[in-house]
Every structure is written in C-alpha cells, then in structure tokens.
Amino acid sequence: MPPLVSIITPLYNSEKYFQETCDSIRAQTLPHWEWIVVDDGSRDNSIAMARTMEAEDRRVRVFALERNQGAAAARNRAIEAALGRYMAFLDSDDLWMPGKLERQVAFMEDTGCPFTYTYFEKMDERGGNRRLATRPSKVTYEDMLRSNWIGCLTAMYDTQYFGKALMPNLRIAHDYGLWLSLLRVVPYALCIPKPLACYREHPGSISGDKLRLLRDQWQLFRNIEGLSTSKSLRSVLWNIAVRLLRLK
C-alpha cells in the first residue's frame, strides 16, 4: 500500500469556493489520502459543507476551533490530528491538478528528498486569468531568507524525516516559518518544475496586507529564527526587493 498523505486545510468563510477545492481533492489520481479540515470560526455555510463531505467520504475528518484563531492555529490542529506520512497543504479556496499527490509522492520517493514543492498557477477570484508561477529548482535556508519561494499549496514534507513539524503563531508568515524550520534540518528542498496547483488571488486578502506581512517577517527573522538585527533587516529588504522586481 502506498504511504498515506494527510491534506491539511484551514477553513474560514469559504463556502463560495469550497466545493471546487473538494472536487480537486477527490479527483486526485493517488487515492490513499486523508483530508483534515479545521474550521476557524466560519460565519457562513462552510462548516456545514465540510460536515456533509465528512459524512460522504470516510477519508475526510472535520474539526472546529472554539473561536477564530487564525490559519496557523487551524493548520497546526490539523497536523496534530494527522495520521499520514506525508503532509500536504491546501487552502479552502485553492485547487490541485489531478496528478499532484501521485507525482509529488513519487518524486520524493525517487529522489529521497523529504521536503518538496512545485510550480503553480495564479488565478483571479473567478478562476480565470491564470499565470504560471515558476520557482527555483532547489532552495536552501539562505535562499529562503531572501524570499519565501515555496507556495504553501505546493509544499509536502515527510514526517518520517522531520516528525510533525508545526507552524509558528504568525498571522501571515507562518508557512514561511515552517519552511525555514525544515531547512534548518535538511540542506535543501527540491522543486517539481510543473504547475500542479492553482492559487486563488483575492483583492484585499490577508496575504495582500503588506504592512502586516512586513511585521510578521521581521518577527520571524528576528525573534523566531534568532537572526541578528542586521541580518533580519537584510532579509526583510530582500523580500521587498523580490516582490518589487516581480521575481515571484
């Protein structure tokens, strides 16, 4: 039997897109997965939709936080409940290509690399205007200090190598913090140079909150990673430069 993949999804007010996300998971050519959905205090019909999916498919497990705590807390709750060897991440409004899990697990087994990511496509709120987002073929810890090159919806890590690695309690840069923590253990992460996921961009989304992002990145570099003041500042400035130069 192939190794189990745990799909980690924080859920918050996503009823408009959640069915598409569910369909993209059910369309995976690798069937040996579990989907752990953690509702973060949704005020719409999201949690009811998730409960319906849980009743229809025993591979789906749904949990609910008592109050809104942010995506990091929801993701960590899902990781803690996960039973799979591989951890994969998909937000409740994003999509995967049908062969994403199968191809990525095979890539990890072929290369022996315990931390991988892929190209992806960016799309607008309606799912149109798709643009390819390429990424470096390999990234190290130092590379990642200059920019978060790894799209959360493309990442996968092996718990047999890392254990259950959790995300720091940051509002925006928590996935970035997890990738850095993994790259302190392993020398590099490898990329599959194919778009295997679709990221939905929303006007005014939390990832577009530039000031909050800068604060989170500073806290990540200075307080969580323990970098010097000068190196933390350089890392923040590198991240700004990469965004301004549209290298991402």
Could you tell me the sign of the dihedral formed by the alpha carbons of 125, 33, 165, 41, in that order?
A: positive
The DSSP code sequence of 66-85 is SS---HHHHHHHHHHH---S
> Could you tell me the domains of the chain?
5-203 (3.90.550.10)
Beta bridge partners of 191: 117
* Buried/exposed code over 205-219 (b: 16+ C-beta within 10 A; e: otherwise): eeeeeeeebebbbbb
First to last CA, the chain: 37
pTM value surpassing 0.85: yes
What's the burial of 129, exposed, middle or buried (CB within 10 Å: 0-12/13-18/19+)? exposed
pLDDT for position 205? 53
pLDDT for position 86? 98
Residue 228, CA distances (Å) to 14, 111, 168, 231, 234 in order: 39, 34, 19, 5, 10
pLDDT for position 206? 46
Q: How far is CA 189 from the centre of its chain?
A: 14
Task: Round to whole Å and give the CA distance between 205 and 201.
Answer: 8
Tens digit of pLDDT at every position of the chain (248 positions): 789 999 999 999 999 999 999 999 999 999 999 999 999 999 999 999 999 999 999 999 999 998 999 999 999 999 999 999 999 999 999 999 999 999 999 999 999 999 999 999 999 988 888 999 999 999 999 999 999 999 999 999 999 999 999 999 999 999 999 999 999 999 999 999 999 999 999 875 544 577 888 999 999 999 999 999 999 999 999 999 998 875 44
Beta bridge partners of 37: 9, 62
What are the φ/ψ torsions at residue 74 (nearest 5 degrees)? -65, -45
**Residue at 83: amino acid letter:** L
Contact criterion met (CB below 8 Å) for 202 and 184: no
Give the pLDDT confidence of 55-82 residue by residue, as tens digits: 999 999 999 998 999 999 999 999 999 9
